[in-house]
Amino acid sequence: MALEEIRASPPENKKYREIDKKRWLVRYLILVTLGCLLLLKLYLTFFVIDFVIGLYSFLTGSYLFTIFALAYLKYRDPYYAGKPLSDHKPLVSIVIPVKNEEERIRNCVESCINSTYRNKEIIIVDDGSTDKTSEILDEINKDEHIIVIHNHVNEGKKRAIEIGCDVAKGEILVFMDSDCNMAPDAVEKTAKIFMSDDEIGAITAHGRVTNATNGNTLEKIQDTWYDGQFRLVKGAESCFSTLSCCSGAYSAYRSEAIRPFLHAWVTDKFLGKPFKFATDRRMTAFVLGAKMKKKDSDGKVRSIGWKMKYSHSVKVFIGPPKTMPSLIKQQIRWRKSFIRSIFSSGAVFWKRPLPVALMFYLQIGMKLIRPYIIFKSLVLLPLSGEYFTSIFYFTSVIFTSLLYGIEFRLRSPGSINWLYRPLITLLGMFVFSWLIFYALITIRKTAWR
């Protein structure tokens, strides 16, 4: 477990500094490099390479530059943004749906028990497990904070979460995947963030792989990918109090922000039929489009959108797929979630601040046409004798993935896992991007395990 990040967290009475000044200089160099690469892409697009490939590469470069710039220069961890408005310690309900997780569920629950936050309840819903998960839950069901619910008939992850929420009493609901472990101070920090701003409706944590140091190659490359997706992408989105996806690994919601939509999420329909697949993006979309009522100092009541924040200080450690078949299955589930989010998040994102809305719609467009771009640049153009465009596209993709790796290295001194970052890019290019077609064909197959 990557506990070095927890130990590195500064005391609350000291000014927070994510990295030192020398590493900040490297960040500025990354921004300059991305800017120069963007200008080069613009020139090549109009005068040298295939226009379609060049335009796509320029747009992706613009998106990446924006993500890095916002995450570096504008993002502020909400944990250090303000002091709690009161000394109130709200009840936090941690809801964990589980099915056939005998190898990981004990560590998951124990991480919740060992949380430094005391005013909590831990609700585990066993959704018809057929292995030893049920027995393990009965063994550890001795702590006063634990509530175990055995749902002997498998009804799916979404229904398991709803069952847990039906008995939850907390002002804050934390949803956590059963293959994850939370950091000891995760709930403590989550509660503090909520109490510092009553307009915050959702918080998502920073995810890293549990066994990143000693794990296999797949675990290491996933660790570098998770780190970038959270710190850079979610960090950039959080600048506008908006998130496109609150991660299922660990996300917390103010009860009043999510409860009105829980049943609608569980009974969600897509293409005219129940969509049983538990998509985090769909749950996020409900809060994205929701409004809260707030009274101004002059007594007038106004409706405003909930703030949604990512906190780099709130840590969760993820148990990722360890084999290629299981990783591909996960990627297919995520692409089904992406397809569903085009219609759910896409319908409400325009209500959020314009910069983050543009980023969201641009990202959707790039993902949809990426298979064609890859096929044209690496197959069609070489067959027609146009090699320079292919070489440029491939090298620019690998180069930008190395920049992600360098950013990972800046915040993980001593780790050599940053070298694995280009591997996840290659997997995305030659394997994962093409799974969108299979996900679309099998969109009605929604089993969560």
* pLDDT confidence of residue 31: 97
- The 3-state DSSP class for residue 175 equals strand
- CA 363 to the chain's CA centroid: 15
Would you state the structure tokens that stand for residue 239, as one six-digit string? 């600048």
| Residue 274 belongs to domain spanning | 1-88+197-449
Average pLDDT, 10 consecutive residues per value, the chain (449 residues) = 44 66 95 96 95 96 96 95 82 96 93 95 94 92 88 88 95 96 96 94 96 90 95 97 95 96 90 78 92 78 90 96 94 90 89 93 94 96 95 95 96 91 95 94 68
Inside any domain, residue 123: no
Inside any domain, residue 122: no
Inside any domain, residue 206: yes
Q: What DSSP assignment string belongs to 18-40?
A: SS-HHHHHHHHHHHHHHHHHHHH
CB 276 within 8 A of CB 446: yes
Inside any domain, residue 54: yes
Task: Give just the sign of the alpha carbon dihedral 254, 320, 418, 42.
Answer: negative
What is the count of structural domains for the chain? 1
Q: How many CB atoms lie within 10 A of CB 309?
A: 28
Inside any domain, residue 152: no
* pLDDT confidence of residue 275: 79
* pLDDT confidence of residue 4: 44
Instruction: Give the bridge partners for 303, in sequence order.
Output: 293
* pLDDT confidence of residue 3: 43
For residues 169 and 149, give the distance between their C-alpha atoms in angstroms, rounded to a whole number.
15
CB 145 within 8 A of CB 137: no
Q: Up-side HSE of residue 365: CA atoms within 13 Å toward CB?
A: 12
Inside any domain, residue 204: yes
CB 117 within 8 A of CB 191: yes
Inside any domain, residue 205: yes
* pLDDT confidence of residue 276: 73
* Residue 172, phi then psi, degrees to nearest 5: -120, 130
Inside any domain, residue 202: yes
